[in-house]
A and B are shown apart, each in its own frame.
Chain A
């Protein structure tokens, strides 16, 4: 896979993901139907939580981001042009809230737990097959690998590589153009690869 290409598989997954919340449901919510909005919350919450958790690396903060995002979605639901654009729009709100939160937080310095985390990474990479990480390990590893990245590079890495979103959609979510998305992804990959080479 080239550094500048996005996997075809991700587009298929993404297409499937687009129908996560039905058009009719969105239309009902736009009329102010709170009962139907509960269903929207139910369907949207996992995807927002995944992005927020990966971006912030903290479960409680990610839960707060989910709540704030859902409330903003409710308040501004009438403003989206089409129900089809709901998912990208919801992602954009969540990512912007994550940016705000990251700006508030100071960048984490390397600490004594980093060696422990590198050991975990080493174990998982050397294992046969793909193992599934628990939330805590997951957060530790993402935090370690993306610690040196800018907020934009981190967002692009998470959306592209972990959420498997195509470049065009990432551009819409982050407000960057496609070239900037690809450039940010390239630098993020290079940075993480050099970290893996250095510590493993």
Chain B
């Protein structure tokens, strides 16, 4: 009996609430506001949403589409980072080249002399051809050449200063010429 009365109250209350549909005052206000907001958002996001739609419009399952967009964003981010990193490296390389160029202009006299010498040597060593030589080998070659020149000049000076030595060397050279077989 008690249960029935309780049930009846519940039923009556639910019936009253069901019958009292909440009334929307001025629904056209909401409708206008919705359309206005959509138009505003369309203007703002048309570009982005069109782009996403054109790329992922073929995917109808929500979570798959979201996952694809996520992966695409990550890939683009990685690509941009990579490009930025590479660009930075390239920029540094170009800076290094500039520095080398500056150094070249600052020590131009000696290096230019060296390069001219190398040119002379290379034309003598391989006339009409090309000479492949590394930077370090080139430096070593020039240094040896310079040392040799210095030693040669020193030797000439010593010989000039000492007449006995000069006579001795001239005699020796003449003897060598005398015994040298004709080819």
Contacts and interface: CB of A to CB of B under 8 A. Distances in A.
Interface of A: 1, 34, 37-38, 41-42, 45-46, 49-50, 53-54, 59, 62-63, 66-67, 70-71, 74-75, 78-79, 81, 121, 124-125, 130-135, 137-139, 141-142, 145, 161-162, 164, 189, 192-193, 196-197, 200
Looking at chain B's contact residues, is the secondary structure mostly helix, strand, loop, or mixed? helix
Given A67-B37, A200-B9, 9 more contacts: A34-B35, A49-B30, A63-B30, A66-B24, A79-B60, A125-B12, A130-B12, A161-B18, A196-B13
A145 B13 contact: yes
Contact of B22 (A53, A121, A161): A53
Interface residues on B, range: 20 to 34
B38 A66 contact: no
Interface of B: 6-7, 9-25, 27, 30-31, 33-35, 37-39, 41, 53, 57, 60, 62
B27 A46 contact: yes
A138 to B, nearest CB: 5
Contact of A130 (B19, B21, B30): B19
Nearest to B49: A75
A93 B19 CA distance: 24
Contacts of B37: 67, 71
Contacts of B17: 54, 133, 138, 141-142, 161-162
B22 A67 contact: no
A1 B8 CA distance: 11
Contacts of A196: 6, 9-10, 13
A79 B62 contact: yes
